[in-house]
């Protein structure tokens, strides 16, 4: 008959072996050496708008993997509830919507699930923002991209608040999102300063039928046009002050992942 000491030793060995096996199983189940992983970073910026604030409540950010069905193919990259005032996201300001590891593969869509409480502020008055299906199916953006092992893929969402808010009457506002999705790897920026500052100029970067807008800061005249695909642009500067003339700078070259600084742009009286 085994002694109590022998039984204790056998029991201890069994428990240690069991714990080791559980550890090995859990480790092998949580990693995927066959496919590997890469990194996705998603930021958001906004074009200028005439609203005081446009506050969007985001509860979850997801991407959809190619080959999966509509229900099971969504992968969460951020599920932290946050409220973003789009008006603050201009002239170089941005916010990170998600920064997470993803399995290697091809992805086809981005989805922003919105929460209750989104609103728009007009002349100091807060109005609820109607977001059709925003809390259920979310805002879906078609954009195909590949995640490669060990590499970072960066996306920029350019949210156009001015054209995304629709006044439906009776002090009711609806969100119909207008969002450009631009990979950082093939996009750059244009910056500069417009003087006199009192002109409160708007700056347009025009390439073919595409136009991206920025507003010079009212106190400094500084502007920055974000998420521009690499290429050549004509820059049109339009002052709000009617005493000053428009000016156009042609063939401004944008290089991927770089900023083109135009320095000071002087507007002249008519």
pLDDT at 127: 96
Q: Convert the pLDDT of each residue in 187-218 to its tens digit.
A: 999 999 999 999 999 999 999 999 999 999 99
Band the pLDDT of 133: cuts 50, 70, 90.
confident
pLDDT at 71: 79
The rounded percent of the chain whose pLDDT value lies above 70 is 87
Q: Domain residues of the chain, as ranges?
A: 1-30, 37-177, 187-266
Whether the pLDDT of residue 93 is over 70: the answer is: yes
User: Which residue has better confidence, 20 or 253?
Assistant: 253
pLDDT at 72: 82
Spatial CA neighbour of 43 closest among 255, 226, 256, 229? 226
251: left (phi over 0), alpha (psi -120 to 50) or beta: left
Taking residues 124-147, report their average pLDDT.
90
Whether the pLDDT of residue 30 is over 80: the answer is: no
> Which CATH number among 3.30.390.50, 3.10.150.10, 2.60.40.4130, 3.30.43.10 corresponds to the domain 187-266?
2.60.40.4130
Instruction: Output the pTM of the full model.
Output: 0.79
Q: Strand 125-130 and strand 172-175: pairing? A: parallel
């Amino acid at each position: 008959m085994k002694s109590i000491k022998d039984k204790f030793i056998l029991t201890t060995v069994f428990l240690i072996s069991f714990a080791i096996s559980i550890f090995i199983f859990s480790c092998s189940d949580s990693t995927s050496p066959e496919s590997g992983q890469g990194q996705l970073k998603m930021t958001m910026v906004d074009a200028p708008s005439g609203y005081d604030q446009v506050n969007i409540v985001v509860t979850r950010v997801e991407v959809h993997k190619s080959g999966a069905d509509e229900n099971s193919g969504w992968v969460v990259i951020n599920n932290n509830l946050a409220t973003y005032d789009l008006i603050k996201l201009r002239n170089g300001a941005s916010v990170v919507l998600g920064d997470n590891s993803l399995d290697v593969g091809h992805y086809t869509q981005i989805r922003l699930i919105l929460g209750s409480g989104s609103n728009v502020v007009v002349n100091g008055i807060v109005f609820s923002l109607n977001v059709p299906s925003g809390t259920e199916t979310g805002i879906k953006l078609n954009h195909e991209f590949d995640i490669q092992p060990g590499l970072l893929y960066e996306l920029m969402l350019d949210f156009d608040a001015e054209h995304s808010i629709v006044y439906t009457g009776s002090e009711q506002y609806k969100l119909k999102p207008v969002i450009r999705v631009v990979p950082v790897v093939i996009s750059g920026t244009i910056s500069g300063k417009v003087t006199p500052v009192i002109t409160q100029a708007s700056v347009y970067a025009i390439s073919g039928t595409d136009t991206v807008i920025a507003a010079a800061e009212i106190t400094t005249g500084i502007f920055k046009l974000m998420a521009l695909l690499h290429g050549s642009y004509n820059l049109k500067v339009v002052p709000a002050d009617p005493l000053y003339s428009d000016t156009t700078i042609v063939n401004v070259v944008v290089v991927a992942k770089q900023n083109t600084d135009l320095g000071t742009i002087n507007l002249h009286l008519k």
